[in-house]
């Protein structure tokens, strides 16, 4: 089954830090990498799942591009995983209005609140973000840290968001997503 990694990086050099490590986790699993600028609805529709990768702390371009991502992903009916900025994009287009200022850098303790297909139990995760998402009736909160929501799942679709970066210490989460 083919997976599309979509880079949310305006500066393509950042892809080395936020996209290529996800590709390495996927290994021999069939996947492609495209920067958001090179994506269209038609291209995305050819894939079985999408991973919307994170970007650097200084990159805010994705916020002004929410209408683009809405058009790109709103009618995609297969599994989607949003990582960091990817989570912020997904929750914004699928039901949460607005982001919360919340700088979180470094390792945090994540507490699992609901059983899910990505992870279980409490664990440490690496965070690198300026924003968090708000609670919403469109998403179930799967996990939290002391300061914010760390993982969500859409209430009726296989759409997941994680605020932390699984490529740093929680690679199994990406592998588990491939099983959905």
For a pLDDT cut of 70, what percent of the chain falls above it? 97
Overall pTM > 0.85: yes
Q: What is the pLDDT of residue 83?
A: 97
Q: Which residues are part of the catalytic machinery? A: 84, 165, 167
pLDDT tens across 11-64, in order? 887 889 899 999 999 999 999 999 999 999 999 999 999 999 988 767 767 878
Which whole number is the average pLDDT over 2-10? Answer: 94
Distance CA(95)–CA(75), nearest Å, equals 14
What total number of domains does the chain contain? 1
Q: What is the extent of the structural domain holding 157?
A: 3-177
Residues in CB range of 88: below 8 A, 6 or more apart:
62, 63, 82, 99, 131, 133, 161
Look at residues 42, 41, 23 and name the one whose alpha carbon lies nearest to residue 32.
23
Give the CATH number of the domain where residue 64 resides: 3.40.50.880
């Amino acid at each position: 089954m083919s997976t599309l990694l979509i880079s949310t990086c305006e500066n393509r050099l950042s892809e080395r830090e936020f996209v290529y490590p996800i590709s390495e986790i996927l290994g021999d699993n069939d996947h492609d990498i495209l920067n958001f600028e090179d994506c269209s609805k038609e291209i995305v529709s050819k894939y079985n799942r999408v991973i919307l990768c994170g970007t650097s702390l200084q990159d805010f371009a994705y916020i002004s591009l929410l209408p683009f991502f809405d058009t790109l992903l709103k009618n995609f009916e297969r599994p989607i995983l949003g990582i960091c900025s990817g989570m912020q994009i997904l929750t914004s287009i699928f039901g949460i209005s607005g982001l919360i200022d919340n700088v979180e850098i470094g390792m945090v303790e994540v507490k699992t609140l609901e059983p899910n297909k990505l992870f279980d139990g409490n664990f440490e995760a690496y965070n690198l973000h300026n924003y968090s998402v708000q609670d919403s009736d469109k998403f179930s909160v799967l996990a939290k840290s002391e300061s914010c929501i760390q993982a969500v799942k859409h209430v009726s679709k296989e759409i997941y968001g994680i605020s932390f970066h699984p490529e740093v210490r929680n690679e199994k989460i990406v592998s588990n997503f491939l099983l959905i």
